[in-house]
């Protein structure tokens, strides 16, 4: 949900494989901030069946959506997780059993996506720098890698991530702002971006020690828009039958 561009959101929608996808927003990491929920509906309600789940307002029973979290979430085509504090979010999710529901959703082929905290959460490990020194945290572990976001926006991040990997965090993917990693099952399918010249990075431990970083240039979705506006929509990478793509967006 970048303020000035919807191409990453459109890309995520294109993966949902439905004319009018059912999209559910989880704003947990923001503490279910009202302004974020409003932004979601502004962006998604025109072309989608949009809904959201607030884990802080379940006592108010908004429209029956939250009566049964599992039923509602497992009916979606796309689950969009908002940014914020990943530690708070994972704590609240586990308390409501959302970790298990999201795992099940992924296995059933529901597309999972989100920026920042909404990206970190899908990985086995992640570098969280929300407060104080960046530190490794455990995510849901759908993707057997580590993840680091805002790689270009916060200069200390590269050094911290490299150090973490050198000290035993598993290897993974670092992502600049406005770049999204698209995973098909647990394999990286594409790196896409809403900005020219942006990239993600594969960061892993060398067999004999030291950290290797490989630049993965992102395909800019803006550039191709004018000449082939619907190419992405027409050619989503084939989803494997057993499990679905999860998209980690760092925006």
Partner 1 sequence: MRRPVPSEQRLILALGGGGFTMEPANPLLDDFVLSLVPRSEPRILFLPTASGDTTAQINAFLDRFAERNCVHEHLSLFRLREADRSLREIVLEQDIIYAGGGSMRNLLAIWRAHGLDSLLVEAWRRGTVLAGLSAGAMCWFDAGITRSSGPPEPIAGLGLLEGSLTVHADGEPERLPVWLTHVRDGTLPGGWALDDGVALLFRGLRLERAVSSRPGAGAQRVDAIAGELVRHRLPVALLGEEPRAGLAGDDDAVRELRRVRLLRQGFSGRRE
Which residues of the chain form contacts with partner 1 (CB under 8 A)?
A: 29-33, 55-56, 58-59, 61, 66-67, 84-85, 87-88, 90-92, 94-96, 130-132
Q: How far is the CB of 54 from partner 1 (least distance, A)?
A: 8
| Closest separation in Å from C-beta 143 to partner 1 | 21
52 tagged catalytic? no
The CB-of-60 to partner 1 minimum distance in angstroms stands at 9
H or E element that contains 115: strand 111-115
Catalytic residue among 51, 116, 119, 164: 116
Minimum distance of partner 1 from residue 221's CB (angstroms)? 29
- Residue where the block lists tokens 């698209």: 182
Q: Is 166 left (phi over 0), alpha (psi -120 to 50) or beta?
A: alpha
Q: How many CB atoms lie within 10 A of CB 130?
A: 16
Q: Is 96 considered catalytic here?
A: no
User: CA angle, 93 as apex, 40 and 59 as ends, to 5°?
Assistant: 75
Residue of 52, 150, 162, 182 with catalytic role: 150
Query: Which of the residues are catalytic?
Result: 116, 150
């Amino acid at each position: 949900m970048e303020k000035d561009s919807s191409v990453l959101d459109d890309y995520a929608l294109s993966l949902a494989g439905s004319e009018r996808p059912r999209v559910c927003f989880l704003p947990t990491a923001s503490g279910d901030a009202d302004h974020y929920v409003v932004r979601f509906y502004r962006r998604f309600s025109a072309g989608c069946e949009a809904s959201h789940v607030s884990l802080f307002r379940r006592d108010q029973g908004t429209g029956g959506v939250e009566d049964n979290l599992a039923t509602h979430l497992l009916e979606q085509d796309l689950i969009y997780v908002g940014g914020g504090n990943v530690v708070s979010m994972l704590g609240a999710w586990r308390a409501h059993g959302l970790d298990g529901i999201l795992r099940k959703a992924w296995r059933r082929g529901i597309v999972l996506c989100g920026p920042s905290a909404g990206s970190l959460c899908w990985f086995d490990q992640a570098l969280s720098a929300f407060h104080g020194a960046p530190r490794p945290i455990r995510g849901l572990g759908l993707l057997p890698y580590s993840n680091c976001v805002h790689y270009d926006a916060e200069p200390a991040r590269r050094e911290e991530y490299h150090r973490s990997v050198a000290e035993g965090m598993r290897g993974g993917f670092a992502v600049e702002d406005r770049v999204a990693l698209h995973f098909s099952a647990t394999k990286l399918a594409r790196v896409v971006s809403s900005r020219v010249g942006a990239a993600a990075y594969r960061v892993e431990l060398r067999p004999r020690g030291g950290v290797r970083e490989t630049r993965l240039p992102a395909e800019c979705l803006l550039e191709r828009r004018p000449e082939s506006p619907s190419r992405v929509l027409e050619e989503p990478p084939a989803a494997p039958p057993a499990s679905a793509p999860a998209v980690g967006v760092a925006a």
